[in-house]
Amino acid sequence: MLQAERHCDGAGLRLTPVRRRTLEILLESHVALGAYDVLERLRIDGLGSKPPIAYRALGFLVEHGFVHRIEKLNAFVACDHPGEVHDPAFMICTDCGLVGECQAPAARSGLSRRARESGFRIASTVVEATGLCAMCAEAKE
């Protein structure tokens, strides 16, 4: 949160109440939240109740790297390393919903070679693994 504030100050970005609270909501959650989950919490706090409110705040946070969108879940998680340039990959537990972020340069470089071969120019990548987290895997034994 502090990192986000500093980054916004430094980059001339406006971390408005809605955006700030949206980021807090995601930081407080252990699991990915859908836009409507976020919206419901914003509504409770009196910060808006219509979809565009949530989608705009999430769009801002994603655009500036404070939040990632999980395509597989149509949901959002706070970034582990906000501010840094990175190429995230995610591990999504199908049992408990936990979403872990890690860096996946290997994934991208693997793709990169294929891309170069075919002349494709990568702008961004989505890398998401689905499975069981350590805790849930152990619980299943």
Structure token digits, residue 35: 């836009």
Interface region with DNA, contact rule CB under 7 A, candidates 48-56, 89-97, 100-108, 126-134:
48-56
Distance CA(112)–CA(65), nearest Å, equals 22
Structure token digits, residue 125: 């990548």
Q: Which residue(s) pair with 76 in the sheet?
A: 33, 69
Nearby residues of 50 by Cβ (< 8 Å), 6 or more positions away: 39
Site for Zn ion in 62-91 (CB under 5 A): 79, 88
Binding site for DNA (CB under 7 A): 13-14, 16-19, 34-37, 47-53, 55-57, 59-60, 74-75
Binding site for its own copies (CB under 8 A): 71-72, 89, 91, 93-94, 100, 102, 104-111, 113-115, 118-134, 137-138
Binding site for Zn ion (CB under 5 A): 79, 88, 93, 95-96, 98, 133, 136
